[in-house]
Chains A and B, each alone.
Chain A
Amino acid sequence: MNHFDFTFIYEHHRTFIAGQSIFEAGDPGDAMYILLEGQIHIKIDDLIIDELEDGAIFGEMALVDAQTRSASAIAFTDCKLMKIDEERFGELASQIPQFGIAVMRIMSERTRRLIIEETARQRMVQELAIGQDIQRGLLPEKTPEVEGWEFAAVYLTATQVGGDFYDFIVNPDHPNNMQVVVADVTGKGVPAAIFMASMRSTVRTLAHQSNTPADILRQSNRAVMEDIRTPLFLSCLIANLNLKTGDMTLSNAGHDWPLWVRAAENVVETVEMPGFVLGMFKEISPEQHQLQMQPGDFMVIFTDGVTEARNSAGQFFDDDRLLATIQANQNGSADELAAKIVEDIDQFAHGQPRSDDLTLVVIKRQLK
């Protein structure tokens, strides 16, 4: 605690009204302030890093180390302050040893507190990294290896933990059927990741019970409606693939429409399947869409992180670029096409950070 009474220092009092800025980050650090009355918020960007009350001093750091302001100080209430400029500070420090000691004590307290906060932050970063490992563990370790088929998957998160997931589920009792799932939780970060983990289990359990894609979505929606405590939505696309015949039954809950490369016709078709996202209504009745993948065909299923990847000019990668990449690379393997899509997105984004999770699943029926 600081027992030094700063108020005896005679200096002109200044008043600031609530909301007024006392100094901004980047300003020259030419003075320190003693808060006589009122409350001050110390902010970095929009984040309040400290709240100060009567008797506090602030702004002393920049004065001592001669750097510019690292944070902004804003009057939270109407305030009365005393400003001590560099010259006066030097005088006080040399004439009144207690003044210098009191300032040092406040700086030490602040540093100590920062160390404690930094330790806590480091711990949180570590925990997030553990969370990321756990989440990665929920995704398939590798893509399935099935004769006559190729599967590729890419999963890139925008933050440490993501809200997308994908899955390849085969019920051992029906080894010729595979359910391919790609889903996206609205929002990002820890809440989305927890929701994703819970929904992944729900979908997996329902898929193992050999439900149709529409049934899985219908019942997952009920689970969302019953369980969640925050209004998060989930878009989800499920494709049930018969590995013998190539027949595919798809159902969609508000997810991006997949792209079907029909090799024989040399066309890329958008499989249009409108449907409500999960978590909006108590009951939904998703439609099912049937198609048959022929040898040489691809199915590209993705989340909006693919088409909504942006460059520094704010432009989107968009459907057209995705289509062009697919059209130019439909003679290679599923892995090659997936890698090429990611490469083209990265090239387009040109170092612009990802703002959303990106998930991409490519299925190819091999030529005989």
Chain B
Amino acid sequence: MEIDVEHVEGPRAIAIMKLTGELDASCYQDAIEQSQELRSAGTKNLLLDLSDLSFMASSGLISLYNIAFTMRGDSIPDGESGWNVLHEIRDELANTTKKEAHLKLLSPQPRIEKTLKMTGFDKLIEIFSDRDEALRSFS
């Protein structure tokens, strides 16, 4: 999988991260790390362009999930000590309305859109088919 990043000029610090190829167990961590780097470098809002992503394995869901709370500004806790924190973040994430969210998705292919719908991710992360509309949606 290739990851390309484009920064959008403006006050809302938006970056567009385009994933090309296949998101699976061999690279799901790369996408998370890239989002962490962007976040530490000041990106506040991330539009994940999935238009050229041809396949997303179940491990891809872990990427989306972790990127969603990375973009909220939360670090991903590891190990047992951080586990309760992780649970709290999960609950908060569920309570964040999609409009306030810092991660949005652009143009997933039908197969991936179906996976997002089946697993409930479409309720968690807003999906757009128009890039400009997606960019305008970040508050």
Contacts and interface: CB of A to CB of B under 8 A. Distances in A.
A281 B91 contact: yes
Contacts of B124: 280
Interface residues of A, number: 25
A229 B119 contact: no
Contacts of B123: 274, 276
Given A235-B58, A255-B118, A229 B94 contact: no
B120 A276 contact: yes
B62 A231 contact: yes
A131 interface: no
A274 B117 contact: yes
Interface of A: 184, 186-188, 225, 229, 231, 233, 235, 254-257, 274-277, 280-282, 304, 308, 316, 318, 356
Interface string B58-90: 110110011000000000000110010011001
25 contacts: A186-B58, A186-B61, A187-B58, A187-B59, A225-B87, A229-B79, A229-B83, A231-B65, A231-B66, A231-B86, A233-B62, A235-B58, A254-B120, A255-B118, A257-B118, A274-B119, A275-B118, A276-B120, A277-B119, A277-B120, A281-B91, A282-B91, A304-B58, A308-B57, A356-B57
Given A186-B62, A233-B62, A256 B83 contact: no
B111 A316 contact: yes
Contact of A280 (B58, B90, B117, B118): B90
Given A233-B58, A235-B119, 17 more contacts: A184-B58, A186-B58, A186-B62, A231-B62, A231-B65, A231-B86, A256-B118, A257-B118, A274-B118, A277-B120, A280-B90, A280-B94, A281-B91, A282-B91, A304-B58, A316-B111, A356-B57
A280 B87 contact: no
A282 B61 CA distance: 17
Nearest to B93: A281
Given A254-B118, A255-B118, A276-B120, A188 B25 contact: yes
A187 B25 contact: yes
Contacts of B120: 254, 274-277, 280
A356 B117 CA distance: 21
A162 to B, nearest CB: 13
A77 B122 CA distance: 46
Interface string B86-114: 11001100100000000000000001000
Contacts of A233: 58, 61-62
Contacts of B90: 225, 280-282
B119 A276 contact: yes
Given A274-B117, A280-B120, A281-B94, A186 B59 contact: yes
Contacts of A276: 119-120, 123
